[in-house]
Structure 1
Amino acid sequence: MAIPEHVYDNTRMSEGDPRSIRTMTAVQNAAVQLLETAGWDSVHVKGICQCAGISRSTFYQHFQEPWQPITRHLQEAFAREFPSLLDGTAHLEPEELLLSGKPLSFPLFVHMESCRSIYVPVFADLRGGMIRQHLVEQITQLSRAHHEPLRRISPHRVDADLVARYLAGGLVAAAGWWILQEPRDTPAAMAYWFSRIAAPGLLQTMGLDSLLAE
């Protein structure tokens, strides 16, 4: 499975152009810095351009909205942290419901912990809604792809998109609640508890109840 495409339009970006890459990085870093240090009130095109040292026209060559560089930054961070989850080299073990020895939800909790200074304002403020929605879309793609081994052995025909969106929505909601807590459980503990909650319903729906006893 390839890394999920960014769900906003970035077709005008020249990925192979070093100058374009440097500009993209500067814009992303500026948007993240403003969010972390001054909050959502500072995350606007004018502020990002001033912080990154670029013109508005340059910004609009790569993005349409000021929250999009933050989404891009988070997606790239996730890809660096868990490349095997995105390139198809990690596979779900149906008998144990584990991916590389961990629950499928584990990478998200680890990623959010590592980027907590960004995710706290994303989940604490309504203005983070678009970033949250894009996170749900990304997790939906991952869920649909990595639960394919279960669908192959399932005696029931279950809509893959329905299952993936249900799990992704629940996972992102749980992770968003968790990242705002202080103190909070470890990523491993949260992944364990989320799996304990989600796995029974998933397996029963797919007619794979026998895996619950294993």
Structure 2
Amino acid sequence: MQAPQREEIHLNVPSYKKNRSGIAKFVVLPELIKSLLSLAHGNADVECGFSENAALITDDRSSLSDISINGLRATKDAVKFYGQGKVHKVPICKGLLDNVKEAHSRYQVDQEITQRILEKKEAIVAAAKLTKHKELVLVGKEQNLIGQRKILQEDLENVSKMLNEGNSRLEATVATKNFAGVEMAQLLIGGAKKKLDVLKTQLGDNSDQMNQLKKN
């Protein structure tokens, strides 16, 4: 008994039957059948393609690009189709001769395009690395300024304590009328004020550098 063709199977499915209202039954069934009929009966074609690729990519040709592999596969398929698998039986026509003549120029154009793409990618990578490096430098400078500011604030606190101590000694000396300690108190106060002026200037510079860094 001869097996029915795919078209016959498709036309005889119950999805084309309608109910009394004229609405088709099994609406989803046609799509299911189409999907099933589109599946290959086996994977011989795929395995054949893998075998052909394995034959093309040998140890001394392992660096072939996808374009080169596709070109070799296309050439081999053309020889099978036009020459029954024999090169000398492939008919020589004007189109074939023109393609052969233009092959090298096309290859050069393709190489130039590929080179431009590679250069563009390298430029993008280099720019990204430069940006990353700048970010790291800025972060390093910011951390350094934060560390300097912390030290300056600690020094400012110590100098403020020294100034308070000098003022306290001076007040105690005046209260007890023991003027022997006036000179020491004045030295503490004078040294503290000078140090305060220096620290305030350094803190101002630190703030300016931090603001400039944030603008960048």
Q: Is TM more than 0.5 here?
A: no
Structure (1 or 2) with the greater helix fraction: 2
> Which of these two proteins has the greater Rg computed from alpha carbons?
2
TM range (shorter): under 0.3
Give the TM-score normalised by the residue count of structure 2: 0.24
The one of the two structures with greater contact order (alpha-carbon pairs below 8 A, sep at least 6) is: 1
